[in-house]
Structure 1
């Protein structure tokens, strides 16, 4: 279950040194996860409206390996690492061509309207292999 999202680095993404500001990598991988979810058939807005459930990041382990710069064309790769009834763990990379610039392992949980952990939606659980 690998997903690829292509994006371009804009001037607003960079710092004074002309490289991508470190926090923007977290935005890039968030976009990658959102599109990956969409491709699994999960409409997050509809899920929230129907059940009050939302996804939240519980943990991020990140490594910054090489800088991206203005106008670079990047690919965010999202791969399922594991899934249980209550959480999803994904491995993500930001690449420029064959170069890996950034890696992260992200743990995602589902919360109810009061912020309490709940099981993943059945539609998502069915779409993901048990892990």
Structure 2
């Protein structure tokens, strides 16, 4: 469940899990597009980030708590391979599909897809590094179990 600052419940705000895949619906707004009404290429990075963040949130891992005001664990994108297959357009409702593929000592490999219906718009493979105190950090066992539980990841 997702709660706002006032403690109100927004059960679908962070998307949902279907099996090992997190699905986050997103509407494309004018601000996401270029002058022609097509999503600007860098806009997809924001959609993918939201998918990764809400996937963690629904798995019970709040990045704010992990970050602990700069004193805790943070994730940084180390590598991303992205392919643009088709354009998303203003007013489209797209889905960001996120699945944990692999959890390693200090990194996670995540497969992400953005689709409109069953039409593939963008595919991305992302490796994020765990960092604490400005240095790579081993992913804690409790976090590892949460990630492996929702994404079907293999250590």
Please give the range of the TM-score, normalised by the shorter of the 2 chains.
over 0.9
TM-superposed CA distance for 1:85, in Å, is: 2.2
Q: Unaligned 5+ residue runs, structure 2? A: 1-19
| Number of residue pairs the alignment of both structures matches | 130
In structure 2, how many angstroms separate the alpha carbons of the residues matched to 1:54 and 1:11? 31
Q: 2:129 aligns with which of 80, 103, 109?
A: 109
Q: What's the CA shift string for 1:78-124, capped at 9, x where partnerless?
A: 012211121110110000011000000000111012x2100113221
In structure 2, how many angstroms separate the alpha carbons of the residues matched to 1:86 and 1:111? 8
Say yes or no: does 1:6 pair with 2:18. Answer: no
TM-superposed CA distance for 1:76, in Å, is: 0.2
In structure 1, how many angstroms separate the alpha carbons of the residues matched to 2:145 and 2:122? 30
Confirm or deny: 8 A CA contact 1:40 1:124 kept in the other structure.
no
Greater relative contact order (CA < 8 Å, ≥ 6 in sequence)? 1
RMSD: 1.3
Q: Unaligned 5+ residue runs, structure 1? A: none
Confirm or deny: 8 A CA contact 2:101 2:154 kept in the other structure.
no
TM-score (norm 1): 0.94
Q: 2:104 corresponds to which residue?
A: 84
Confirm or deny: 8 A CA contact 1:109 1:120 kept in the other structure.
no
Q: 1:130 corresponds to which residue?
A: 154
For residues 1-131 of structure 1, the aligned pairs below 5 Å read: 1-49=20-68, 51-113=71-133, 115-127=134-146, 128=148, 129-131=153-155
